[in-house]
Amino acid sequence: MTIAVDLPSLGESVFEGTVSRWLVSVGEWVEIDQPIVEVTTDKVDAEIPAPQAGVIDEILVSEGDVVEVGAVLARIDPEGKPSASPAASEPANVPPPSMPDPVAAPPSAGPTDPPATPVARRVAEEAAIDLRDVSGTGTAGRVTKEDVLRHQSGGGATAPSAPVTAPSPPVTEAAPVQTAPPAAPAPTAPTAPAARRPAPARSNASFGYELQPGDRVIPMTPMRRIISEHMVYSKRTSPHVGAVAEVDLSRVVKLRSQHKAAFQESYGIPLTFLPFIVHATVRALREVPALNASVVEDSIIEKQDINVGVATETEKGLVVPVVRNADRLSLAGTAMAIDDLANRARTKKLSADDLRGGTFTISNPGRQGNLYGFAIINQPQVGILRMGEIAKRAVVRTLDGEDAIVIRTMMYMALSYDHRAVDGAPANGFLYRIRELLEAGDFDL
Amino acid sequence: MTSSLSVEWLGERRYADGLTLQDQSVADRIAGRTGDRLILLEHSAVITLGRSTDPANLHRTPDEMRAAGIDVYEVGRGGDVTYHAPGQLVGYPILDLAGLDRKDVHDHLRRIEAALMDALEQLSVPARRVEGRTGVFIDRARSARPDGPDRKIASIGVGIRKWVTFHGFALNVTLDLAGFDAIVPCGLSDVEMTSVLRELEIEGKGEGLAAATLDEQVRGLVGEAMCARLGAEGS
Chain-wide mean pLDDT for chain A? 78
Determine the 3-state secondary structure of B202 from DSSP.
helix
Residue of chain B with shortest Cα separation from A37: B161
DSSP-derived secondary structure letter, A442: -
Mean pLDDT within A309-316: 82
> Cβ–Cβ contacts within 10 Å for residue B177, how many?
17
Mean pLDDT within A110-117: 55
Determine the Cα–Cα distance for residues A3 and A77; give it in Å rounded to an integer. 6
Mean pLDDT within A90-112: 36
What pTM does this model have? Answer: 0.48
Angle at the Cα of A365 (from A361 to A369), degrees rounded to 5? Answer: 145
Q: Nearest CA to CA, how far is B52 from chain A (Å)? A: 10
Residue A292 vs residues A13, A54, A376: alpha-carbon distances, Å:
43, 35, 16
Is the model's pLDDT at A400 over the cut of 90? Answer: no
Determine the 3-state secondary structure of A244 from DSSP.
strand
The phi-psi region of residue A140 (left if phi > 0; otherwise alpha if psi is between -120 and 50; otherwise beta) is left
**What's residue A103's pLDDT?**
35
Residue A428 vs residues A207, A434, B132: alpha-carbon distances, Å:
37, 10, 54
Q: Nearest CA to CA, how far is A304 from chain B (Å)? A: 8
CB spacing of B106 vs A20 below 8 angstroms = no
Cβ neighbours for A139, distance < 8 A, ≥ 6 positions apart: A101, A103, A164, A201, A202, A205, A206
In sequence order, what DSSP letters do the residues of A91-144 get, joined into one string? Answer: GGGSPPTTS----SPPTTS-TTPPPB-HHHHHHHHHTT--GGGSPP-SGGG-B-
Please state whether beta strands B127-130 and B46-49 pair in parallel, antiparallel, or not at all (unpaired): unpaired
**Contact with chain A for residue B166, Cβ under 8 A:** no
Is the model's pLDDT at A263 over the cut of 60? Answer: yes
Domains of chain A (ranges; CATH) run: 3-77 (2.40.50.100), 224-440 (3.30.559.10)
**What's residue A113's pLDDT?**
57
Residue A210 vs residues A98, A206, A207, A214, A311: alpha-carbon distances, Å:
14, 12, 10, 12, 35
Instruction: Report which of B89, B115, B104, B93 is spatially closest to residue B29, judged by C-alpha positions.
Output: B93
CB spacing of A45 vs B107 below 8 angstroms = no
**What's residue B63's pLDDT?**
77
Which of A104-113, A139-148, A293-302, A328-337 has the weakest average pLDDT? A104-113
Residue B228 vs residues A15, A167, B7: alpha-carbon distances, Å:
28, 58, 12
| Contact status, residue A276 vs residue A284, Cβ threshold 8 Å | no
Determine the Cα–Cα distance for residues B20 and A382; give it in Å rounded to an integer. 13
More confident residue, A164 or A440: A440
Residue B1, domain member (yes or no): no
* Number of domains into which chain B is organized: 1
Q: What is the CATH number of the domain that holds B106?
A: 3.30.930.10
Determine the Cα–Cα distance for residues B218 and A268; give it in Å rounded to an integer. 47
Residue B235, domain member (yes or no): no
What percent helix, strand, coil does chain A show, rounded to 5? Answer: 30, 25, 45
**What's residue A149's pLDDT?**
66
CB spacing of B78 vs A11 below 8 angstroms = no
DSSP-derived secondary structure letter, B58: B
Is the model's pLDDT at A382 over the cut of 60? Answer: yes
Rounded (10°) angle between helices A250-267 and A274-287:
110
Determine the Cα–Cα distance for residues A410 and A379; give it in Å rounded to an integer. 29
**Contact with chain A for residue B98, Cβ under 8 A:** no
DSSP-derived secondary structure letter, A154: I
Q: Which residues of A are catalytic?
A: 419, 423
Domain that holds residue B23: 6-230
CB spacing of A21 vs B78 below 8 angstroms = yes
DSSP-derived secondary structure letter, A87: G
**What's residue A105's pLDDT?**
34
> Cβ–Cβ contacts within 10 Å for residue A309, how many?
25
Mean pLDDT within A60-73: 87
Cβ neighbours for A34, distance < 8 A, ≥ 6 positions apart: A24, A49, A50, A182
Within chain B, how many helices (H) and strands (E) appear? 5, 11
Instruction: Report which of B184, B163, B49 is spatially closest to residue A299, judged by C-alpha positions.
Output: B49
| Chain B residues near residue A14 by CB distance under 8 angstroms | 104-106
pLDDT band at A21 (very low <50, low <70, confident <90, very high): confident
**What's residue B189's pLDDT?**
67
**What's residue A411's pLDDT?**
96
pLDDT band at A144 (very low <50, low <70, confident <90, very high): low
Cβ neighbours for A363, distance < 8 A, ≥ 6 positions apart: A311, A375, A384, A385, A386, A387
Please tell me the total number of residues recorded for chain B in this structure: 235
Residue A4 main-chain phi, psi, to 5 deg: -85, 135
**What's residue A127's pLDDT?**
67
Instruction: Report which of B48, B22, B85, B17 is spatially closest to residue A292, judged by C-alpha positions.
Output: B17
pLDDT band at A260 (very low <50, low <70, confident <90, very high): very high
CB spacing of A46 vs B107 below 8 angstroms = no
In sequence order, what DSSP letters do the residues of A24-63 get, joined into one string? Answer: S-TT-EE-TT-EEEEEEETTEEEEEEPSS-EEEEEE-S-T
**What's residue B74's pLDDT?**
74
CB spacing of A12 vs B104 below 8 angstroms = yes
ipTM: 0.74
Please state whether beta strands A66-68 and A16-22 pair in parallel, antiparallel, or not at all (unpaired): antiparallel
Instruction: Report which of B74, B47, B76, B88 is spatially closest to residue B182, judged by C-alpha positions.
Output: B47
Is the model's pLDDT at A18 over the cut of 80? Answer: yes
Residue B154, domain member (yes or no): yes
| Contact status, residue B26 vs residue B166, Cβ threshold 8 Å | yes
User: Which residues in chain B (120-139) have CB-CB distances under 8 A to chain A?
Assistant: 134-135
Cβ neighbours for B212, distance < 8 A, ≥ 6 positions apart: none
- Out of B85, B136, B138, B186, the active site residue is B186
Determine the Cα–Cα distance for residues A211 and A49; give it in Å rounded to an integer. 36
**What's residue A13's pLDDT?**
72
Low-confidence residues of chain B, pLDDT below 50? 1, 235
- Say which of A33, A46, A380 has its CB closest to residue B105: A46
| pLDDT tens by residue, A158-206 | 333 333 333 333 333 333 333 333 333 333 333 333 333 333 343 444 5
Determine the Cα–Cα distance for residues A355 and A323; give it in Å rounded to an integer. 9
pLDDT band at A126 (very low <50, low <70, confident <90, very high): low
A219 burial via Cβ count (<10 Å: 0-12, 13-18, 19+):
exposed
Mean pLDDT within A294-304: 90
